Structure 1
Amino acid sequence: MTRTIVIGGGIAGLASAALLAREGHDVTLLEARAELGGRAGLWDTDGFRFDTGPSWYLMPEVFEHFYRLFGTTAAEQLDLVRLDPGYRVHFESDPTPVDILADRAANIRLFEKLQPGAGAALDRYLDSAIETYDLAVKRFLYSSYESFRPFLVPDVLRRLGRLARLLLQPLNKFVAGYVSDPRLRQILGYPAVFLGSAPNLTPSMYHLMSYLDLADGVLYPQGGFGTLIESIAAIARVEGVRIVTDARVTAIRVTDDRMIAGVSYVDEAGQTVRLDADKVVSAADLHHTETELVPADLQTYPQRWWDKRVSGPGAVLVMLGITGELPQLQHHSLFFTTDWGKNFGQIFGKRPSVPSPASLYVCMPSATDTSVAPAGHSNLFMLVPVPPDVDLGHGGINGAGSTTIELIADAAIEQVSRWAGIGDLADRVVVRRTVGPADFAEDLNSWKGGALGPAHTLRQSAFLRGSNVSKKISGLYYAGGTTIPGIGLPMCLISAEILLKRMRHDTTTGPLAEPLPARPVPPVTEPSESARQQS
């Protein structure tokens, strides 16, 4: 059996380990921290439970497909509920918030109400988004780009002109061709943030994201996203994966002829362990993998490569336990400043600075899930986009973070309080924790302390994002949000499937057939006559 080590116990590492074990590999997964999940982590305190990372369940068919590969379903693994409204948007320039609903027709009526003619425009926009999304899933998202021959097919060739325009035109200009109301432009442009980018930097190809929230709807797994991680970890264990936590990999070992030899890691007791392997999959941050774990002369993506890349934003996370209920907020709430172009410029510009006020995101899962907060309390998670800069500092509990991080948190609480009409919000805080870019770098080895990974700009999308296999070390592969196809939980699941396809030299562009064949059973070898005599 092929001995394979997977580095990283986030969703991509767990999914990769499960798929490879199903394929017949002997898999050991090493996670540096005591808990699994990576960016999709958990924090429990005083009866509150916080998801410390992803909180949007989009592209449900990707999760469903992954589960069906193992002969199960999302319904069997998770308790999913549809959010309606899907989310609420608060605008600096307008005291009346806008609720995005779970129904396409309702959202078309909403757009028409906010701007005459915008309903029909949204209908056309969503038709384009769905067509682009379907093509992306069929031809691009599940491709390893090992060969470009599979793209020379009629449905791609006849759309080459349109695809070129979608790649070269930024999302903000594409959106402006459909609607003029600033609020609607922000709603259609915001998906760029899910991709770690800005509307003026993101190719309009990604307008396909609007299909997900405006037509397909937003789901939530009861119990939080930790239940998703638990379900995939359980699948991996059933497939035979050995999961080792508190195992911080310090080096990927390579033979003299540039083949994988294994890894070295530090265990829970502080001892260095050498583990041999035939293949290594790093689902850790790609920058960390290449610049810290791989010998300098064998780096496919050395520091000079990263110096020409654009990081997605950093983030200040603010987790708050609140007494009482907050009817002014939905499960998901977005707060958009009037000049959000300035916000993005401060994050991605040549002279980065912290936006104030900031366009920020608030999640209140207690609106949907009674298990995440004590009775009579609310659970709030705030995300403030900031430049990816570790010098902004660390967060902490009850105000113990760096001065800069705590001031950003204070400003976010005040902004939400004022814009949403919750005058006593700060006085009702009973639990508080902050996380800053330095925490992302220290805890997750995140490049520049970014919250997401490389931004989805034109030069960092599809095959231009990089490969999921080392060009210099035979047997070294990559998975996760920092490699193809990109950022987000669904993309991480797809990255695990692309990894398997790469190892198989499968150049097809669509999802694998469901279910996968059962895990091969090693043959039972009859002992030799001499062995029987010795026994």
Structure 2
Amino acid sequence: MSPKEHPVQSPADIVVIGGGFSGLATAGLLARSGHRVTLLEKQDELGGRAGRLHRDGFNFDTGPSWYLMPEVIEHWFELMGTSTDQKLELADLAVGYRTWFEGHPKPLDMPTGDGAAAAFESIQPGAGEALEAYLAKAKTSYELSLENFLYDDFASPKPFMNPTTLSLLPQLAPLLTGSLDSFVAKRFTDPRLRQILGYPAVFLGSSPKRTPALYHLMSHLDLTQGVKYPMGGFMALVDAMVALCRETGVEIITGATVDAIETLGTGKEARVSGVRWLDAQHKTQRRQAGIVVGAADLHHVETTLLPPALRASSEAAWKRRDPGPSAVLLCLGIRGKLPELSHHNLFFTRDWDDNFSRIHRGEELAKETSIYVCMPSATDPSVAPAEHENLFVLVPSPALPQWGKGGADGTGSKAVEAVADAALAQIARWSGVTDLAERVVVRQSYGPGDFVENVNAWQGGALGLAHTLAQSAFFRPANKNAKVTGLYYAGSSVRPGIGIPMCLISAEIIAKAVNGIKDPGPFDLDAVSMGPNGNEPAGRS
């Protein structure tokens, strides 16, 4: 494909703050397009909200565990000159997830395709055909979003003025103004089926009643496209991205605690000049830069690294925002096998409204609460010793840093360990593994305080700003600071949103903006025009 006409870019000195998925993806794309890039990460390991724990032969992922939107991840690898086939070993899960419902002893397995329709039909006559229609609509919404919205920074109203977008407004308006909960309820009567189709809101940091109906597109991802798993765990994905960034020339500095984004000029003349940080020896370091990308927690970047006059959002604006839920995490090494569980497992309480209300209002969780359990050892023997299982338990919880941090073998804060104990007991009751607690050989918990300490998460949020109507699409914080020339934002709290694929798309949005590309759709490396004094963008023929 021949590149369109774009402004010729000079190579820039760029600093990316944060070594999570969005930071690594951004650094890699900017280096591939000819710029000189330094990435600063405060932790000793890269990955951000993704993490790893090695204990007694167990290898735990302590962050993301759902591999969805594979075409988005594949596109990033292609932009980096390779493919996921070359860099990852991806396994397709025959059963996307096993779902447990309070009051129903028998779980429901959710495969993809015809299997999903059959599973729905087994619960409610006629629901199989209704699901097929639902998923067809979800696919359409997903494709429309990819083509028209996800890769746009909404920096101007121009994208909404083109004939294609205007023609879609009658179709999109109800999806943006109505809730996912009501959208599902119009099509299915059994509460269990409603929960299956509403649960993606949880992974968007919200609840079905507070999430726009547009996000019914999420069901297309797991029930149509299917669920994959990178062998070796999600840190295998991080490791592959880190290696590609380094091969492309990104300078990566860990143990670097950034304490200021430095600027020149005032008012409308303010522009980025560099970054100041403390290195691993607590010595002050500086790096000049014409462009800075804040890929760390947005609230931290804005309120800690910038003076008030240069913040894109006011203190009042932050008070109106929803940080989304936090979580209590529990990594468990279990003696013996657990055939009762699948790779992904969802435990749903009967009273979802109460469950979500407690989280949103910052209240104590009920005795029975909704829980997600990942058992990667069902697919990947490398993550646990022989005849053992690896469990990662996530309990959606209020964003309350005062709950404290977790610890090894029950040594975390009282509040965190109480939630962990209750979750372990509930999983045992619902799954019928009555001796589960006695079979624990490794235990490590994490709480809201850990999210604050490790990734500077605002109010201990586990995911990023909730995908409520007021915080979705063009209402979500922008990818560029309008007050400081050269300052951009990537990650789960800006456009397009939460999740590994969304973070990678935010990186493409930044790459387009830095390289002066205003074309809609994904980043195209062939569209980059670098000046004669710069490096030719990698991958150009």
Shorter-chain TM range is: over 0.9
- Relative to structure 2, which stretch is displaced further, 297-306 or 169-178? 297-306
Deviation readout 1:29-88 (Å, 9 max, x if unpaired): 000000000001111111111111000000011011111112211111110010011110
**Aligned counterpart, 1:88:** 98
CA distance in 2, matches of 1:520, 1:322: 58
1:64 aligned partner, one-letter code = E
CA distance in 1, matches of 2:360, 2:254: 35
- Relative to structure 2, which stretch is displaced further, 314-323 or 138-147? 138-147
Is 2:506 aligned against 1:495? yes
**Aligned counterpart, 1:478:** 489
Secondary structure of 2:320's counterpart equals coil
Is 2:408 aligned against 1:388? no
Secondary structure of 1:307's counterpart equals helix
1:224 aligned partner, one-letter code = G
- In the TM superposition, what is the alpha-carbon distance from 1:340 to its structure 2 partner? 1.3
Is 2:373 aligned against 1:331? no
CA distance in 2, matches of 1:225, 1:522: 39
Distance 1:57 1:137, change over 3 A: same
**Aligned counterpart, 1:49:** 59
Deviation readout 1:282-338 (Å, 9 max, x if unpaired): 100000000010012211123221100111101000000111110000000000000
**Aligned counterpart, 2:20:** 10
Deviation readout 1:191-248 (Å, 9 max, x if unpaired): 1011100000000000000001111100000000011011111111111100000001
2:189 aligned partner, one-letter code = S
**Aligned counterpart, 2:6:** none
- In the TM superposition, what is the alpha-carbon distance from 1:359 to its structure 2 partner? 0.3
CA distance in 2, matches of 1:304, 1:485: 23
Deviation readout 1:162-191 (Å, 9 max, x if unpaired): 211011110000001111011100000001
**Aligned counterpart, 1:533:** none
**Aligned counterpart, 2:276:** 264
Structure 1 ranges of 4+ moved more than 6 A: 514-521
Which of residues 226, 234, 250 is equivalent to 1:225? 234
CA distance in 2, matches of 1:104, 1:72: 30
Q: Percent identity?
A: 52
**Aligned counterpart, 1:197:** 206
- In the TM superposition, what is the alpha-carbon distance from 1:153 to its structure 2 partner? 3.4
Instruction: Judge conservation of contact 2:68–2:501 (CA < 8 Å) in 1.
Output: yes
Q: How does 1:516-531 map to 2 (within 5 A)?
A: none
**Aligned counterpart, 1:311:** 323
TM-score of the aligned structures, taking structure 1 as reference length: 0.95
Secondary structure of 2:464's counterpart equals coil
CA distance in 2, matches of 1:378, 1:358: 23
Deviation readout 1:347-400 (Å, 9 max, x if unpaired): 113x53323311010000000001001111110000001100001111001111
**Aligned counterpart, 1:22:** 32
Distance 1:142 1:109, change over 3 A: same
**Aligned counterpart, 1:530:** none
- In the TM superposition, what is the alpha-carbon distance from 1:477 to its structure 2 partner? 0.7
CA distance in 1, matches of 2:23, 2:525: 21
- In the TM superposition, what is the alpha-carbon distance from 1:515 to its structure 2 partner? 6.6
CA distance in 2, matches of 1:109, 1:376: 33
Instruction: Judge conservation of contact 1:145–1:507 (CA < 8 Å) in 2.
Output: no
Instruction: Judge conservation of contact 2:118–2:128 (CA < 8 Å) in 1.
Output: yes
Instruction: Judge conservation of contact 1:68–1:515 (CA < 8 Å) in 2.
Output: no
Instruction: Judge conservation of contact 1:440–1:451 (CA < 8 Å) in 2.
Output: yes
Q: How does 1:441-452 map to 2 (within 5 A)?
A: 441-452=452-463
Is 2:304 aligned against 1:295? no
1:68 aligned partner, one-letter code = E
Unaligned runs of 5+ in 1: 525-535
CA distance in 1, matches of 2:22, 2:197: 28
Instruction: Judge conservation of contact 2:509–2:523 (CA < 8 Å) in 1.
Output: no
Secondary structure of 1:138's counterpart equals helix
2:438 aligned partner, one-letter code = D
Instruction: Judge conservation of contact 1:468–1:483 (CA < 8 Å) in 2.
Output: yes
- In the TM superposition, what is the alpha-carbon distance from 1:145 to its structure 2 partner? 1.0
- Number of equivalenced pairs: 522
Is 2:144 aligned against 1:132? no
CA distance in 2, matches of 1:476, 1:66: 22
**Aligned counterpart, 2:294:** 282
Instruction: Judge conservation of contact 1:355–1:386 (CA < 8 Å) in 2.
Output: no
Distance 1:520 1:379, change over 3 A: farther
Q: How does 1:27-426 map to 2 (within 5 A)?
A: 27-101=37-111, 103-257=112-266, 258-349=270-361, 352-426=363-437
Deviation readout 1:425-458 (Å, 9 max, x if unpaired): 0001011000000110111100100100110011
TM-score of the aligned structures, taking structure 2 as reference length: 0.94
Instruction: Judge conservation of contact 1:69–1:516 (CA < 8 Å) in 2.
Output: no
- In the TM superposition, what is the alpha-carbon distance from 1:89 to its structure 2 partner? 0.2
Unaligned runs of 5+ in 2: 1-10, 536-541
Instruction: Judge conservation of contact 2:33–2:525 (CA < 8 Å) in 1.
Output: no
1:404 aligned partner, one-letter code = A
CA distance in 1, matches of 2:534, 2:458: 44
CA distance in 2, matches of 1:157, 1:250: 44
- Relative to structure 2, which stretch is displaced further, 299-308 or 278-287? 299-308
